[in-house]
Amino acid sequence: MPHTATFTAVDLGASSGRVITGRVGRAELRLAEVHRFGNHPVRLPSGLHWNAPGLYREVLDGLRAAAAHAPVSVGVDSWGVDYGLLDATGALLGLPHHHRDGRTEGVAHAVTDAFGPQALYAANGLQFLPFNTLFQLAAARGGPQLDAAATLLLIPDLLAYWLTGQRGAEVTNASTTGLLDVRTRRWSASLAEAAGIPLSLLPALRHPGQRIGPLLPDAAEETGLADTEVTAVASHDTASAVAAVPALTGRFGYISCGTWSLAGLELPGPITTGAARAARFTNELGIDGTNRFLRNIMGLWLVQESLRAWDLRDDALPALLADAARAAPFASLIDAGDSRFLSPGDIPSRIAGYCRETGQPAPDGRGELLRCVLESLALAHRATLRRAAALAGRDIEVVHLVGGGARNELLCQWTADALGLPVVAGPVEATAIGNIIVQARAHGAAADLAGLRRLVHDTQELRHHSPSGDRTAWDAAAARLGLE
């Protein structure tokens, strides 16, 4: 790699996507967003789907904009679990289902019971979530698309296939499916059987930093990137975000905060004990053979859906957060993991209903509701990280909160207050940065993970939040939710 070089991250989130270029050098990491677009699911008679061809169209538009920066390579990351099916010719068999579609209701528990809950957890290490790929496939059994399928590709692998013609499954995202053996890090025949699919449906695994191939002629012509190749990154967005955690110590906890909050620890191997399963922790793969021991928390989805229910845009949020800061503390609290908050809809009404059912006053106004949400998320962060540390037998010295939630100073400060630990907020674009630095390393940049994290620490804007005040009120609030 020359002294400095440019790389392009295609970073797809559940509500929006972006194409970002990163200029990387020995002490340089500069980002430029060249394209941003909405990611809107489509509800059809067959259920809730992702508009995968529309996303690909936006990716091509973004890569065309990135061409002016002459990137060396492109990497694609997205959320986990969702997939497209290809027939023997490589054609997509229908639009991929959205993980919030209700088709797995009932199926997930039946499959888990048949396999054995602890046996399943010991095999794939995943927190029970009804939308895991294994359960989606079980729900699709007997359907014409699955019967006709020759290859399953997760969303970033599908886009990489359309760009390069090369099929594969990047391992960090594959680890979200429930079909990967968490210890051997290979596809599991017994888990595929539980899903009702042949093992041959699952493509060869690839690893972060592996070169996938050059763009196909049509994609190269349309984007102007004739000399650019696609590189496998940590294609699960949380894996990329954790790779970009600017930690200078190994004793850190992380919260990748966006639509979901993914909170946990980076460990050398999985923890699949009965206690870890009962605490609803998941084991997913990270870069360099690491294990992401974490729990999914509902996250800022609750805020996003509340804004949508109120017919407000994101630019209304600062004023609402100011109202939340002035609202009475701990007036009402919710379990952010309650299943009623999972599907799209009128989240404010569901929060009010939860509060009434639990003998609490319904939030009186939008600021009060946002305070309820953010305090509840801070308590969920506290409970998750404390439990992770206890299960792993590891102390936490600092918490790194990365992703879009790093902009939310109330959430960051209340997380520090609830935990009694310093919180370092940022970088906001952690997922794109993780994507870019893995590409850069594959092309000759810093050799180890510590070096990549030092680069992020030294070049990106970070905010430091020290715990303030007496934690007695936070302890009492946690007890109200049964989190202690």
Instruction: Assign 483 a pLDDT band (cuts: 50, 70, 90).
Output: confident
In angstroms, the CA 405 to CA 427 distance is 10
Q: Cβ distance 239 to 282 under 8 Å?
A: no
Summarised one tens digit per residue, pLDDT across range 127-179 is 998 999 999 999 999 999 999 999 999 999 999 999 999 999 999 999 999 99
Closest CA to 401 of 298, 258, 269, 295: 258
Q: Tokens standing for 265?
A: 């620890």
- As a whole number, mean pLDDT of residues 327-337 equals 95
Residues annotated as catalytic are 237
- As a whole number, mean pLDDT of residues 184-202 equals 98
Q: Alpha helices, DSSP H only, in 313-408?
A: 317-326, 347-357, 366-392
In angstroms, the CA 302 to CA 351 distance is 9
Q: Tokens standing for 336?
A: 């952010």
Which residue reads 């492109």 in tokens?
A: 74
Annotate 393-410 with b (16+ C-beta within 10 A) or e (fewer): eeebebbbbbbbbbbbeb
Summarised one tens digit per residue, pLDDT across range 13-33 is 988 999 999 999 989 999 999
Q: Is the pLDDT of residue 1 over 60?
A: no
Q: Residue 254: what residue type?
A: Y
Annotate 352-381 with b (16+ C-beta within 10 A) or e (fewer): bebbeeeebebbeebbbbbbbbbbbbbbbb
pLDDT at 339: 85
CATH number of 5-235: 3.30.420.40
In angstroms, the CA 249 to CA 264 distance is 15
Summarised one tens digit per residue, pLDDT across range 73-126 is 999 999 999 999 999 999 999 999 999 898 998 899 999 999 999 999 999 999
Q: Is the pLDDT of residue 301 over 80?
A: yes
Query: What integer best gives the mean pLDDT of the chain?
Result: 95
pLDDT at 174: 98
Q: Cβ distance 231 to 212 under 8 Å?
A: yes
> What is the third-level CATH fold of 241-426+462-484?
Nucleotidyltransferase; domain 5 (3.30.420)
Q: Is the pLDDT of residue 484 over 70?
A: no
Q: Is the pLDDT of residue 343 over 90?
A: no
Where are the CATH 3.30.420.40 domain residues in the chain? 5-235, 241-426+462-484
Instruction: Assign 290 a pLDDT band (cuts: 50, 70, 90).
Output: very high
pLDDT at 2: 59
pLDDT at 448: 85
